[in-house]
Amino acid sequence: MIYLVTGGAGFIGSHIVEELLRRGQHVRVLDNFSTGKRENLDSAVTLAERGQKTEDGAQSSVLSRLEVIEGDIRDMVVVGKATQGVHYVLHQAALPSVQRSVLDPMASNDVNVTGTLNLLVAARDAKVKRFVFASSSSVYGNTPTLPKDESMQTQPLSPYAVSKLAAERYCIAFRQVYDMPTVCIRYFNVFGPRQDPTSHYSAVIPKFITSMLRGEPPTIYGDGLQSRDFTYVANVVNANLLACERDEAIGHAMNVACGERYTLLDLHRDLISMTGTSVAPTFGDARPGDVKHSMAAIGLAASKLGYQPIVSWMEGLKRTVEWYSGGG
The count of domains in the chain is 1
Give dist(CA 183, CA 171) in Å, integer. Answer: 7
Whether residue 76 lies inside any domain: the answer is yes
Whether residue 280 lies inside any domain: the answer is no
What range does the domain containing 25 cover?
2-191+230-259+295-311
Residue 140 has pLDDT above 70, yes or no: yes
Q: Where are the beta strands (DSSP E) in the chain?
A: 2-6, 26-31, 66-70, 88-91, 130-136, 182-187, 190-191, 219-221, 227-228, 231-232, 253-256, 262-263, 282-284
Whether residue 40 lies inside any domain: the answer is yes
CATH of the domain at 32: 3.40.50.720
Whether residue 104 lies inside any domain: the answer is yes
pTM of the model: 0.94
Confidence of residue 56 (pLDDT cuts 50, 70, 90): very low
Whether residue 288 lies inside any domain: the answer is no
Whether residue 269 lies inside any domain: the answer is no
Residues recognised as catalytic: 160
Whether residue 144 lies inside any domain: the answer is yes
pLDDT tens for 230-281 read: 999 999 999 999 999 999 999 999 999 999 999 999 999 999 999 998 889 9
Whether residue 199 lies inside any domain: the answer is no
